Structure 1
Amino acid sequence: MASLLRAAVPLRTLATRALHTEAAHTPATTPHALSLIRSQPSQYVVASVAGRKYLLAPRDLLTVPRLKDVQVGDVLALSQIHEVGSREFTMRGSPTIPPEKVNVEATVVEHTKGRMEVIFKKKRRKGYQKTIKHKQTYTRLRIGSIDIIDQ
């Protein structure tokens, strides 16, 4: 069955079609690329928050390790944006996109704790047993709108 499908459409035809459609939509300049991404109905960004990269969309709720210097209700501007895109177009920075081209804000929703972690330590034949319990602290962020500024 699979061999019949391959025989029906030559591979060379598929490759030229893909190249033809790909070359037709390739933007020439950065502002043109940003305007194409902005024209799409939904956008996403890949941004670094607290040392890790996250794929973020508007209205996402992000849980990161505790940010100690922020209060509930603070608005954070994400400055390390590595990639911005939509369904059909993507623009990557090298290594980041300048903050004056893309604005993403995150609001601190709450400071919370994770589930109870139990750490059990034991040394055999010595009578040593130790149980340590703790809860990891987290900060939850609500991602705001993604503003793409094409100049």
Structure 2
Amino acid sequence: MTSALALVRSQPSQYAVAAVAGRKYLLAPRDLLTVPRLNDVAVGDVLELDNVHELGSREYTLRGAPHLSPDVVKITATVVEHTKGQMEFIVKKKRRKGYKKTIQHKQTYTRLRVGPFEFPQ
């Protein structure tokens, strides 16, 4: 595994597949990631993404079963902002009954800036 990790590390650009808030995302360093609202974090907090499923580059891939251990790769993400999506309109209607109702809402999101991938070894 250490030789495979050295091959991935030697490549000019890497990617990772990590789970954030229960969903898997394809990440690269310095990406801006939008996830469903994380209520227990504040703007400026640094999160450690320890649930990494795959680490790779253009020519090599390192997969975990089901995820890689935290001593292989360390990925951090900084909370940039809490925001809302665009206004969504949901229309409910009953045919021939004169009933029509419009519901409006905005979905809440948290935006994360992915930091550089660190290889502790």
TM score, norm. by length of structure 2 = 0.97
Partner of 1:32: 3
SS at match of 1:82: strand
Equivalent position SS for 2:64: strand
Task: Indicate the structure whose relative CO is greater, using CA pairs within 8 Å and at least 6 residues apart.
Answer: 2
1:92-107 aligned at under 5 Å gives the runs 92-107=63-78
Any idea what SS the aligned residue of 2:109 has? strand
Task: Work out which of the residue numbers 134, 140, 151 in structure 1 matches 2:105.
Answer: 134
Quick one: distance in 1 between partners of 2:68 and 2:95?
54
Q: Which residue of 2 aligns with 1:74?
A: 45
Q: Distance in 1 between matches of 2:67 and 2:91?
A: 42
Q: Matches of 1:87 and 1:80 in 2, distance apart?
A: 22
Determine which structure has more spread, i.e. the larger CA radius of gyration. 1
Superposed CA offset, 1:54-86 (max 9, x none): 110000000000001000000000011000011
1:44 and 2:15 matched:
yes
Name the amino acid aligned to 2:81.
E
Unmatched 5+ residue regions in structure 1? Answer: 1-29
CA shift for structure 1 position 132: 0.3
Q: Give me the CA root mean square deviation.
A: 0.8
Q: Unaligned regions of 5+ residues in structure 2, if any?
A: none
Aligned residues: 121
What TM-score does the superposition give when structure 1 sets the normalisation length? Answer: 0.78
For residues 123 and 140 of structure 1, the distance between their equivalents in structure 2, rounded to whole angstroms, comes to 38
Identity %: 69
Contact kept in structure 2, 1:34 and 1:149, CA below 8 Å: no
